[in-house]
């Protein structure tokens, strides 16, 4: 029997396929008879999945309402309304760590120490695997939502779509339709948008996060938040590195830097003046506009060094060149800052990059939920040194998730390279 998350992923995949056909027709291209038939089948499949999801959600609500406690210490109750978003992940991790990875003992800890009988029930009946404990589907959306502030690509508006079977194929708009002037009695030239495939396939991200055992011993809800934040930050930081600058080798996603067209990699002017800085930023804007990018969610991403330079930049009269930065804008578009964009690029090791992206065209395909495993004896690298978790009274939390990243419209990303602006 399929669980709720699997059904939700399947429905999202069906919806993506329907949207691709609708986009094609919206662009002016007529659907073939086979595509019209396929649209009807997808519509029926979507309705069937929706009905199944509604029934499962209703069953889960009823089960939570009549659930029996694992012991007599606490009454049964559904998920606590006052719990912060994602706090459940912190409770799950703390409970598994305290129980040495045993879900049954972890369930007892969640109930008696964390006052979370709903999580205790999930741990007691949840799914384990050789790689760790699979976080129940009902708690995964909270984790994904918490990744938004931890990952600038997500925060800037990249769209998340579940991948039902670990792969997802969508249409990628490669060229627009055209129009022509004609003389009387001349056939009208045919014209339609060109589409190509965007193929996503799951890539495994493994985050190794050391957590203080003192946090595990505390019963305060603040401890749940700290454990949760450590895990989410570990995933979010590595995600940003992948979605921005990974090149697709060694089973990684292809980031923005390597999805950009060659003509959209624009070197910064070596002479740093106020006018040249304005011109360089304008070149990125022009690159997107010339690519017929809709600019629905345009935004900049840059390194902290670049931001501080732009904040300090003044003209000959001492006026700030970009005063809107104080309001989170640069040239009327939002920006985000991340250390995932290095400052040690280029021949001299002193260059950085600035990205301008219409994030409405950025797609994150989510293949699975989240798998948690723990180790109290493992070691990890810290500042180039091998550190023992046991000697530091820490527990290593391994979080595994699977996803991929792609752009639906390649001209929607432009990169200013060789940026040597320094405050």
Q: State the DSSP code for 314.
A: B
Strands 413-419 and 265-267, sheet pairing: parallel
Reference 365, options 411, 328, 408; nearest CA is: 408
Other Cβ atoms within 10 Å of 393 Cβ, number: 11
What is the spatial distance between Cα 275 and Cα 270, in angstroms, rounded to a whole number?
Answer: 12
- Per the prediction, the chain carries an average pLDDT of 81
What does the pLDDT read at residue 298? 96
CA distances from 183 to 31, 177, 178, 187, 355 (A): 29, 20, 17, 9, 45
What does the pLDDT read at residue 337? 96
What phi-psi label fits residue 328: left (phi over 0), alpha (psi between -120 and 50 degrees) or beta?
left
DSSP H helices in 204-303: 213-217, 221-245, 256-259, 274-290
Other Cβ atoms within 10 Å of 117 Cβ, number: 27
What is the spatial distance between Cα 30 and Cα 360, in angstroms, rounded to a whole number?
Answer: 25
Q: Please report which confidence band the pLDDT of residue 416 belongs to, taking 50, 70 and 90 as the band edges.
A: very high
What does the pLDDT read at residue 377? 79
What is the spatial distance between Cα 339 and Cα 362, in angstroms, rounded to a whole number?
Answer: 20
Reference 417, options 330, 322, 310, 342; nearest CA is: 342
The residue ranking higher by pLDDT, 158 or 185, is: 158
| Contact yes or no for 374/398 (Cβ under 8 A) | yes
What is the spatial distance between Cα 275 and Cα 422, in angstroms, rounded to a whole number?
Answer: 16
Place of tokens 């005063």: 323
| Contact yes or no for 361/349 (Cβ under 8 A) | no
Range with top average pLDDT, 71-75, 76-80, 138-142, 224-228: 224-228
Reference 210, options 401, 393, 400; nearest CA is: 393
pLDDT in tens, 259-278: 999 999 999 999 999 999 99
In sequence order, what are the residues at sequence separation of 6 or more whose Cβ sits closer than 8 angstroms to the Cβ of residue 48? none
What is the spatial distance between Cα 210 and Cα 235, in angstroms, rounded to a whole number?
Answer: 13
What is the spatial distance between Cα 222 and Cα 311, in angstroms, rounded to a whole number?
Answer: 35
Three-state SS annotation for 71-91: CCCCCCCCCCCCCCCCHHHHH
Neighbouring-strand partners of residue 365: 161, 404
pLDDT in tens, 283-324: 999 999 999 899 999 999 999 999 999 999 999 999 999 999
- Average confidence (pLDDT) over 209-221: 72
The residue ranking higher by pLDDT, 242 or 169, is: 242
Quick check: 258 pLDDT over 90?
yes
Q: Please report which confidence band the pLDDT of residue 74 belongs to, taking 50, 70 and 90 as the band edges.
A: very low
Burial of 66 (0-12, 13-18, 19+ CB in 10 A): exposed
What does the pLDDT read at residue 173? 60
CA distances from 351 to 262, 281, 305, 346, 398 (A): 19, 16, 10, 5, 34
What does the pLDDT read at residue 270? 95
Neighbouring-strand partners of residue 209: 397
Using only the alpha carbons of the chain, give its radius of gyration.
25
What is the spatial distance between Cα 344 and Cα 145, in angstroms, rounded to a whole number?
Answer: 31
Pair of tokens at residue 84 = 């912060």
Q: Please report which confidence band the pLDDT of residue 61 belongs to, taking 50, 70 and 90 as the band edges.
A: low
What is the spatial distance between Cα 6 and Cα 361, in angstroms, rounded to a whole number?
Answer: 25
| Contact yes or no for 112/137 (Cβ under 8 A) | no
CA distances from 264 to 61, 140, 201, 259 (A): 51, 36, 25, 10
Quick check: 334 pLDDT over 50?
yes
Reference 403, options 259, 173, 240; nearest CA is: 240
Q: Please report which confidence band the pLDDT of residue 395 belongs to, taking 50, 70 and 90 as the band edges.
A: confident
Residue-level length of the chain: 423
Crossing angle for the helix pair 140-150 and 87-98, to the nearest 10 degrees: 110
């Amino acid at each position: 029997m399929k669980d709720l998350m699997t059904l939700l992923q399947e429905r999202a995949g069906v919806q993506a396929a329907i949207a691709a056909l609708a986009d094609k027709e919206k662009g002016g291209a007529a659907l073939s008879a086979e595509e019209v038939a396929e649209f009807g089948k997808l519509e029926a499949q979507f309705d069937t999945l929706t009905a199944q999801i509604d029934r499962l959600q209703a069953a889960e609500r009823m089960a939570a309402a009549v659930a029996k406690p694992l012991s007599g210490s606490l009454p049964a109750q559904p998920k606590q309304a006052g719990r912060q978003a994602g706090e459940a992940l912190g409770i799950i991790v703390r409970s598994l760590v305290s129980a040495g990875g045993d879900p049954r003992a972890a369930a007892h800890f969640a109930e008696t120490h964390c006052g979370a009988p709903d999580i205790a029930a999930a741990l007691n009946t949840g799914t384990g695997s050789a790689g760790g404990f699979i976080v129940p589907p009902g708690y995964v959306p909270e984790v994904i939502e918490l990744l938004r502030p931890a990952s600038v690509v997500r925060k800037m508006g990249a769209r998340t779509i579940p991948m039902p079977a670990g792969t997802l194929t969508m249409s990628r708009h490669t060229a627009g339709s055209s129009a022509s002037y004609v003389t009387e009695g001349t056939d009208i030239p045919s014209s339609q948008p060109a589409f190509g495939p965007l193929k996503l396939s799951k890539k495994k991200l493994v985050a190794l996060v050391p957590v203080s055992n003192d946090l595990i011993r505390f019963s305060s809800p603040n401890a749940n938040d700290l454990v949760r934040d450590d895990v989410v930050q570990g995933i979010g930081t590595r995600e940003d590195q992948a979605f921005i600058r990974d090149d697709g080798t060694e089973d990684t996603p292809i980031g923005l830097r390597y999805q950009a067209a060659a003509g959209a990699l624009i070197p910064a002017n070596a002479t740093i003046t106020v006018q040249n800085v304005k011109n360089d930023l304008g070149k990125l804007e022009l690159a997107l506009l010339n690519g017929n990018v809709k600019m629905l969610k345009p935004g900049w991403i840059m390194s902290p060094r670049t931001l501080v330079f732009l904040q300090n930049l003044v003209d000959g009269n001492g006026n700030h060149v970009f005063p809107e930065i104080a309001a989170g804008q640069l040239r009327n578009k939002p920006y985000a800052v991340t250390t995932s964009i290095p400052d040690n690029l280029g021949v001299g090791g002193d260059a950085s990059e600035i990205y301008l992206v219409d994030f409405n065209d950025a797609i994150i395909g989510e293949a699975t939920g989240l798998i948690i495993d723990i180790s109290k004896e493992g070691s990890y690298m810290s500042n180039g040194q091998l550190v023992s978790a046991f000697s530091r009274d820490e527990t290593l939390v391994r979080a595994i998730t699977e996803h991929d990243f792609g752009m639906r419209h390649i001209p929607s990303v432009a990169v200013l390279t060789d940026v040597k602006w320094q405050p």
